[in-house]
Amino acid sequence: MSRVIDLEVNLPRSLRSPHIHEISHGRPGTPFAEPLPRPEGYGFDNYQHVFRQAPDRSAAANEDDGGMGRLVADMDQAGIAVGYLVGARNADIGPIKRQYGDRFICFASLDPMDGMRAVREFERLVKEDGVGGLRVSSLYNCLPASDRRYYPLYAKCVELDVPVRIYTAMNYANDRPYDLGHPRHIDNVAVDFPELRIVAGLGGWPWVNEMVGLLRRHPNLYCDTAAHRPRYLAQQGSGWEQFLQFGNTLLQDKIMTGLSRYLFGTSFEELIEEYRNLPLKDSVVEKWLYGNAARFFRIA
């Protein structure tokens, strides 16, 4: 069985804080004390319309999904050596790292508007709690990754020699700009911080061709496929044609996989098999599944 590094392993639903869902899926900007009800289907609710999803019940604390023990067992069964864990609060990362060590890569989210307080807290999280890098998601705070308020945090990443993962894709929350995650924002960051190791999370769709160009342009820029069902990547007209072409050739050393198991409601094994069925060279599939992430995250 081949080894795998998964760039999107969700914290078990039963362990997620309901406050994360409330904050991250609320209205953009500073919450108002007495907001008026929003129109039905507005904001993040639009995802249910676009993808025909059932209402999100991920914060249900009484859901019996086996918790972290079951998650690790499922990872073991599928050959997933390491997972990039999403859904954990900064305060949860220390206990998770102390219990599970190197099984999980955990990045912290900091508010760039907290200035140097955020920088100092980020350094503490890295040095004391085992945080492996910085997570930047303009989808939630509506500040593109190129906003200068992030720059002290990027500088600290370079100083501490840890990477940053930047949300890079279109969003369907129709109460904020659709292009907050456009790859052009990464270009500005990579120009200003050439030493910074960056992974573009979610692959940059629908700006795939621009994502490919930036991956060729910046040596320390990588990309992952989280939130995209692998079996559709090779489907004609999906928009991923250039990604697969270059990902199988000139960029074969820069693509990492995010399985996003919870999003698709299936098993790790099924998603891994879908990657193996893509029109990629066998050696390239192994790089996508493990080798590239091992090098990027410096995993032995």
4-296 is a CATH 3.20.20.140 domain: yes
Task: Express each pLDDT in 84-128 by its tens digit.
Answer: 999 999 999 999 999 999 999 999 999 999 999 999 999 999 999
Share of residues in the chain with pLDDT > 90 (%): 82
In this predicted structure, what is the pLDDT of residue 250? 98
In this predicted structure, what is the pLDDT of residue 31? 62
> Helices H, strands E: what count in the chain?
14, 8
In this predicted structure, what is the pLDDT of residue 51? 86
Task: Express each pLDDT in 183-241 by its tens digit.
Answer: 999 999 999 999 999 999 999 999 999 999 999 999 999 999 999 999 999 999 999 99
CA-CA distance, 39 to 254, in Å (whole number)? 41
Amino acid, res. 251: L
Nearest Cα neighbor of 8 from 102, 56, 75, 96 is: 75
Task: Express each pLDDT in 24-71 by its tens digit.
Answer: 666 666 666 677 888 998 999 999 989 876 555 444 545 689 999 999
In this structure, the chain runs to a length of 300
Give residue limits of the domains in the chain. 4-296
Higher pLDDT, 25 or 131: 131
Please report the DSSP string for 187-218 in residue order.
HHHHHH-TT--EEEETTTTT-HHHHHHHHHH-
Collect all residues with Cβ–Cβ distance below 8 Å to 274 and sequence separation of at least 6: 229, 230, 231
In this predicted structure, what is the pLDDT of residue 224? 98
Average pLDDT, the chain: 93
Q: Which residues does residue 82 pair with via DSSP β-bridges, in sequence order?
A: 5
Task: Express each pLDDT in 238-249 by its tens digit.
Answer: 999 999 999 999
Structure tokens at 147: 């906003």
In this predicted structure, what is the pLDDT of residue 218? 98
Task: Decide if 9 contacts 15 (C-beta within 8 A).
Answer: no
Task: Express each pLDDT in 278-289 by its tens digit.
Answer: 999 999 999 999
Mean pLDDT of 268-291: 98
Amino acid, res. 130: G
Bond prior to 31 in cis (omega within 30° of 0): no
Collect all residues with Cβ–Cβ distance below 8 Å to 153 and sequence separation of at least 6: 110, 112, 118, 119, 122, 134, 136, 164
Structure tokens at 144: 């593109």
Is the predicted pLDDT of residue 14 greater than 90, yes or no? no
Is the predicted pLDDT of residue 161 greater than 70, yes or no? yes
Is the predicted pLDDT of residue 23 greater than 90, yes or no? no
CA-CA distance, 224 to 186, in Å (whole number)? 14
